[in-house]
Amino acid sequence: MKLRNMIGAALCAAITLAVPAAHAQNYKSEYKLSIVVGTTFPWGQGATIWSDLVRERTDGRINIKVYPGTSLVQGDQTREFTAIRQGVIDMAVGSTINWSPQVRQLNLFSLPFLMPDYAAIDALVQGEVGQELFKVIEKAGVVPLAWGENGYRQLSNSRHPVSKPEDLKGLKLRVVGSPLYIDTFTALGANPTQMSWADAQPALASGAVDGQENPLSIYTGAKLYDVAQKYLTLWNYVADPLVFVVNREVWESWSEADRKIVREAALEAGKRQIAIARKGVTPQDPSLLKEIEGHGVTVTSLTQEQHAAFVKATKPVYDKWKSRIGQELVDLAEKSIAARTK
pLDDT tens across 136-192, in order? 999 999 999 999 999 999 999 999 999 999 999 999 999 988 899 999 999 999 999
DSSP state letters, 2-56: HHHHHHHHHHHHHHHHHHHHHHHHTS-S-EEEE-SS-TTSHHHHHHHHHHHHHHH
Q: What is the CATH code of the structural domain delimited by 31-339?
A: 3.40.190.170
What's the pLDDT score for residue 19?
42
C-alpha pair distances (Å), 300 with each of 230, 232, 235? 11, 6, 9
Give the span between the Cα atoms of 204 and 182, in whole angstroms.
18
Nearest to 276 by CA among 48, 35, 113: 48
Give the span between the Cα atoms of 107 and 100, in whole angstroms.
5
More confident residue, 231 or 7: 231
Work out the percent of the chain whose per-residue pLDDT is above 90. 87
All structural domains of the chain with their residue ranges: 31-339
| Average per-residue pLDDT for the chain | 93
Give backbone dihedrals phi and psi of 28, rounded to 5 degrees, phi first: -75, 155
User: CB under 8 Å to 246, separation ≥6 — which residues?
Assistant: 90, 91, 142, 143, 145, 262
Whole-angstrom distance between the N-terminal and C-terminal Cα of the chain? Answer: 71
Local confidence band at 283 (pLDDT 50, 70, 90 cut-offs): confident
Contact 98, 176 (CB under 8 A): yes
Contact 302, 163 (CB under 8 A): yes
Nearest to 194 by CA among 206, 207, 212: 212
- Give the residue-averaged pLDDT of 234-240: 96
C-alpha pair distances (Å), 251 with each of 21, 31, 258? 18, 11, 9
Question: How many of the other CB atoms lie within 10 Å of CB of 198?
Answer: 15
- Reported pTM: 0.90
> 3-state DSSP call for residue 226?
helix
What's the pLDDT score for residue 7?
47
Paired with 149 in beta bridges are 241
What's the pLDDT score for residue 24?
60
> 3-state DSSP call for residue 194?
strand
